[in-house]
Amino acid sequence: MKIPILLQTEINQFVEALRAGQNYEPKVASISDEAALDEVLVEKFVSDALSILKSCTGGITKTKEKKTENLELQLTDLALDFFEKLPHAAKFEPGFWSYLSFRLATIIVWRYPPNEKEGWGRNFLVKHAASEFPDGFLPRIILRGQIASGSNEAEAFIQQDFWRSHILRVKTGYSQTMSQSFAEKVIRNRSLVEEQRQVAKKIRSLRSNIIFELLDKTDCDSLVDSSYNT
């Protein structure tokens, strides 16, 4: 099948309709099918993701925080497996991820109820501009899963405020190894929000002189430790 995509104008209209409590069926476009996309794979991913939502959010014995934790952990495993099976053209096509966000809008709306804040729409509108870190609900959980892989501190990758504020927005996430070192240190030190913020700023400032992507885990751990101690 051709790779289905949603153009920015369509996903914007869809987001505004959600905010207003209205229905809008966006027009789905497509791009070249040179790297054939398996329709069965896509439909199974959507179906399995919606089943996870149902299984994780039902019942009244768990808090929403716990339901959210279970939902995102299971979705992360599912999305990582799905991502690895996609052709390259689909993996790095923003419109394809916006299309999937539309298909999985029920999940996103449960996780992030509609509001008027500008950033809310970014859960659906996926951007990959050179100057901007990839955003959108699905790319975030995939990236988080990739960074968390091999870490013994899984708790660090469940804390959404930490994740969005101190990994994505300051672009620490460009280096998965540095992101992992920072997240692990936060958990071990039980760092409070203000301390996390100050250390994140120090780590960001180091980027002007150091290429994080060339460092190994030991180097990253050492830089994070020094950022805490200065």
pLDDT digits (tens, 9 = 90+) for 23-49: 999 999 988 766 678 999 999 999 999
Contacts of 187 (CB under 8 A, 6+ apart): 153, 155, 156
Contact 7/28 with Cβ under 8 angstroms? no
Q: At what angle do helices 94-103 and 8-19 cross, to 10 degrees?
A: 30
Which range among 10-19, 58-67, 156-165, 198-207 has the greatest average pLDDT?
10-19
What pLDDT band is residue 150 in, cutting at 50, 70 and 90?
Answer: low
pLDDT tens sequence across 74-97: 898 899 899 989 988 888 788 899
Distance CA 132, CA 11 (A): 19
- For the entire predicted model, the pTM comes to 0.75
* Region of poorest pLDDT, from 85-94, 167-176, 203-212: 167-176
Distance CA 36, CA 149 (A): 28
DSSP string covering 174-198, please?
GSHHHHHHHHHHHHHHT--HHHHHH
What pLDDT band is residue 165 in, cutting at 50, 70 and 90?
Answer: low
56 has a pLDDT exceeding 90: no
Token code pair at residue 191: 């760092």
CA-derived radius of gyration, the chain:
18
Question: What is the identity of the amino acid at 11?
Answer: I
Q: What's the pLDDT score for residue 130?
A: 46
What is the average pLDDT across 123-138?
65
Token code pair at residue 134: 């990839």
